[in-house]
């Protein structure tokens, strides 16, 4: 059985280590926060906060306290606030250990496309280009194939790039792959998924 959204998030949480400062993207990456357990992880929200807490209880929402997805959130005892230039200074400066984000396409050389589909509604890249260029490690969490059943792990991206050669590890519903010299390397497969099935679902070169 391929992993579901929560299992993918739980697998991504295994990538995190005590003491890390981490930025989580929107979608499945947001769920990773539910699986960090006892690990000492500080979440960054690029609109200007370290130490992001859970959603507020009803009636305790604060218009001045939101995450990068514009959702109301809460602070923790470790929380600090800062302006956007400082926030991206720590991102660009390599102080954030890892970013976990979603993607439309990843290429075998680590190219990432996740911000724009030409001809469709263009919303903007937000902080994605800065994050992938600056953080220590970029971990992509996404479905292995698109809704037409086509591989999202490609020889080359077809969509406009968010970053060139930036992805380190890919966690999909079928397994975990690393970007290495010459292509992608299978790290593990989801329970009940064979290596042959994963290879069949992948366009990118597997080494």
Stretch that binds another protein, among 32-40, 42-50, 140-148, 189-197 (CB under 8 A): 42-50
Q: Does 57 bind another protein (CB under 8 A)?
A: yes
Local structure of residue 32 (DSSP, 8 states): G
Stretch that binds another protein, among 79-87, 145-153, 176-184, 191-199 (CB under 8 A): 79-87
Strands (E), 102-200: 105-107, 112-113, 137-141, 153-154, 169-171, 175-180, 183-189
Selected binder of another protein within 23, 44, 87, 202 (CB under 8 A): 87
Stretch that binds another protein, among 33-41, 139-147, 154-162, 169-177 (CB under 8 A): 154-162
Q: Are 107 and 165 in contact (CB under 8 A)?
A: no
Selected binder of another protein within 28, 65, 96, 174 (CB under 8 A): 65
Query: Which residues, other chains included, contact 38 with Cβ-Cβ below 8 Å and sequence gap of 6+?
Result: none
Q: Are 26 and 47 in contact (CB under 8 A)?
A: no
Radius of gyration of the chain (CA): 17
Q: Does 196 bind another protein (CB under 8 A)?
A: no
Contacts with another protein by CB under 8 A lie at 45-49, 54-58, 60-67, 69-73, 75, 81-85, 87-89, 91-92, 111, 121-130, 133-134, 160-165
């Amino acid at each position: 059985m391929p992993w579901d959204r929560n299992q993918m998030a739980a697998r991504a949480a295994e990538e995190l280590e005590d003491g890390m400062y981490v930025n989580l993207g929107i979608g499945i990456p947001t769920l990773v926060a539910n699986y960090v357990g006892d690990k000492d992880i500080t979440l960054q929200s690029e609109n200007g906060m370290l130490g992001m807490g859970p959603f507020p209880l009803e009636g305790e929402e604060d218009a001045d306290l939101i995450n990068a997805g514009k959702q109301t959130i809460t602070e923790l005892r470790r929380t600090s606030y800062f302006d956007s230039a400082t926030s991206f200074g720590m991102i660009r400066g390599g102080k954030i250990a890892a970013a976990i984000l979603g993607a439309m396409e990843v290429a075998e050389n680590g190219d990432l496309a996740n911000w724009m589909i030409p001809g469709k509604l263009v919303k903007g890249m937000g902080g994605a280009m800065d994050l992938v260029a600056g953080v220590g490690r970029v971990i992509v969490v996404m479905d292995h194939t698109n809704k037409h059943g086509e591989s999202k792990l490609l020889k080359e991206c077809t969509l406009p790039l968010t970053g060139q050669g930036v992805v380190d590890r890919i966690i999909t519903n079928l397994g975990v792959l690393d970007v290495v010299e010459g292509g992608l390397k299978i790290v593990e497969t989801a329970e009940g998924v064979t290596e042959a099935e994963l290879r069949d679902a992948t366009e990118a070169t597997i080494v």
